[in-house]
Amino acid sequence: MNIVLCGMMGAGKTSVGIRLSDLTGMRWYDTDDLITQKYGSIPSIFEFYGEQRFREIETEIVRSIAGEDNCVISTGGGCVLKPENSAAFKAGGGKIVFLKVNIDVLFQRTGHTGDERPLLKNTSFEKMKALLDYRTPIYEGCADITIDTNGLNVDEVAREILRVLEIPARNAE
- Known binding residues are 10-15, 32, 55, 77, 117, 135
The three-state DSSP-derived secondary structure of the chain is CEEEEECCCCCCHHHHHHHHHHHHCCEEEEHHHHHHHHHCCHHHHHHHHHHHHHHHHHHHHHHHHHCCCCEEEECCCCHHHCHHHHHHHHHCCEEEEEEECCHHHHHHHHCCCCCCCHHHCCCCHHHHHHHHHHHHHHHHHHCCEEEECCCCCHHHHHHHHHHHHCCCCCCCC
CA distance 160 to 147: 8
Binding site residue list for ATP: 10-15, 117
Binding site feature residues for Mg(2+): 14
Which residues are annotated as part of the binding site for substrate? 32, 55, 77, 135
For residues 92 and 9, give the distance between their C-alpha atoms in angstroms, rounded to a whole number.
Answer: 24
